[in-house]
Amino acid sequence: MTEPKRFALTPGEPAGIGPDLCLLLAQHAQPYPLIAVANVSLLAERALQLGLSVSLISVTPSDWPTEPAESGALYVWDTPLGAPVVAGQLNPANGHYVLETLTRAAQGCIDGHFAGMITAPVHKGVINDAGVAFSGHTEFLADLSHTPQVVMMLATRGLRVALVTTHLPLREVADAITAERVQRIARILQADLQKKFGIPMPRILVCGLNPHAGEGGHLGREEIDIIEPALQQLREEGLNLIGPLPADTLFTPKYLDHCDAVLAMYHDQGLPVLKHKGFGAAVNITLGLPIIRTSVDHGTALDLAGTGRIDTGSLSVALETAYQMAETHINE
């Protein structure tokens, strides 16, 4: 008998809005068992602060649920805090708690207990203040799963954007655009669109690096010397790649209506368009991992924690995306 799909939800920074988001989502029934990897007392205290009635049901690896919780209830894998939590006030004593929730969720995915994990925002600074070198969810999960290369992709309804480079100063981007890097990222994007999204032959639009995609070499030669030769080799391998195209015209219906994803060269080339189209309803997806991982597209919002003045839109989309990916996922 096939084990039912269940999913792990990590609330992220305990002083931020992550716990609030989990409790608000618990007001609505989910199609699969959803397990918050969190501290039960923290969630109970935050529910009281928000004036929410939520039944917190403790579960462990020995008694995983097989049916979704009813509306107004939330499964919780109780995880010990390092110190009491005050909404809006960071405490480095809880840095290791955050990492433990991520480790439990990710290892549960690797071991087959969870079909995927959904992450609420963490605060990188306070984890580093706890004495742990931490650059983000993506790098942490790549290390934990021994994955040499991952790809950051954000998606909203009608648009997916993956990045060749991510958090680099702009003056360093051109040097980072190499044929090897473009090909490596494109192959991962292609493979996960097929494997995790069920798209047999993805059509991928590729941005140029320079204005007007270099204007025939007059505005930069990266397209001629690096990007186009790299794409041509990939086309010979069977990838359906269109470009390099000028980024200022690529993000128009003429192109986007006929593609499955866009590959942008750098962070602020592709993501402003995506966030303009779907801010508050976008999802961050880590490609290349052996597990399904989706996340919100926003931060911890410490000033809003415990107030109830938050929108669950991005986390709802992250959940929906993880569910869809698990339904179409092709096991190797």
**3-state secondary structure (DSSP) of residue 325:** helix
Alpha-carbon distances of 202 from 1, 52, 256, 260, rounded to whole Å: 33, 44, 13, 6
Q: Is 240 annotated as a binding residue?
A: no
Quick one: how far is CA 330 from the chain centroid? 19
203 is in an annotated binding site: no
Is 329 assigned a ligand-binding role in the annotation? no
CA within 13 Å, CB half, 8 = 33
Closest CA to 30 of 51, 9, 46: 9
To the question of whether residue 28 is assigned a binding role by annotation, the answer is: no
Q: Are 45 and 55 in contact (CB under 8 A)?
A: no
Hunting for tokens 């680099």 — which residue is that? 168
Q: How far is CA 72 from CA 25, 28, 29, 30, 125, in A?
A: 9, 7, 8, 11, 33
Q: Is 96 annotated as a binding residue?
A: no
What is the end-to-end Cα distance of the chain in Å, rounded? 20
Say whether 91 counts as a known binding-site residue.
no
List the Cα angle 224/225/226 in 5-degree steps. Answer: 100
284 is in an annotated binding site: yes
Are the C-beta atoms of residues 60 and 77 closer than 8 Å to each other?
A: yes
Q: Please enumerate, by residue number, every residue annotated as part of a binding site for a divalent metal cation.
A: 167, 212, 267
Q: Which residues are annotated as a binding site for substrate?
A: 137-138, 275, 284, 293
Binding residue ranges: 137-138, 167, 212, 267, 275, 284, 293
